């Protein structure tokens, strides 16, 4: 089990399926990349259990620009009162 904890700013992607993300810091992305071969299920996606404040959920990290981003579901943002531009603390658990 790999556990990561970090802070990052919530940002909004306005693509065909708009979503909110937090970028994983470079040093943590490097650790994830090293483990990705054992856990990815396609396109470099990495399944994780995530926690923000008192809310936990499952999701998959997306590879982006040589690193990874964490999708933050609307349900989580609403439960924790989080908006674009807020800096949040995330905890990720990855089964490796």
Angle (CA) 92 86 88, round 5°:
25
Q: In this prediction, what percent of the chain has a pLDDT beyond 70?
A: 95
pLDDT digits (tens, 9 = 90+) for 13-44: 887 666 999 999 999 998 888 877 777 776 77
Cα dihedral 11, 58, 1, 91 sign: positive
- pTM equals 0.88
Superfamily of domain 2-94: AF2212/PG0164-like (2.40.30.100)
Cβ(24)–Cβ(68) under 8 Å? yes
pLDDT of residue 68 exceeding 90: yes
* pLDDT score for 27: 93
What per-residue confidence (pLDDT) applies to 8? 98
């Amino acid at each position: 089990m790999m556990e990561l904890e970090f802070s990052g700013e919530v940002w909004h992607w306005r693509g065909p399926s708009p979503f909110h993300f937090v970028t994983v810091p470079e040093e943590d992305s490097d650790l994830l990349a090293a483990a990705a071969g054992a856990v990815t299920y396609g396109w470099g996606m990495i399944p994780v259990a995530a926690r923000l404040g008192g809310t936990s959920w499952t999701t998959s990290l997306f590879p982006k620009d040589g690193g990874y981003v964490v999708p933050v579901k609307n349900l989580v943002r609403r439960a924790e009162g989080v908006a674009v531009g807020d800096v949040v603390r995330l905890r990720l658990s990855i089964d490796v």
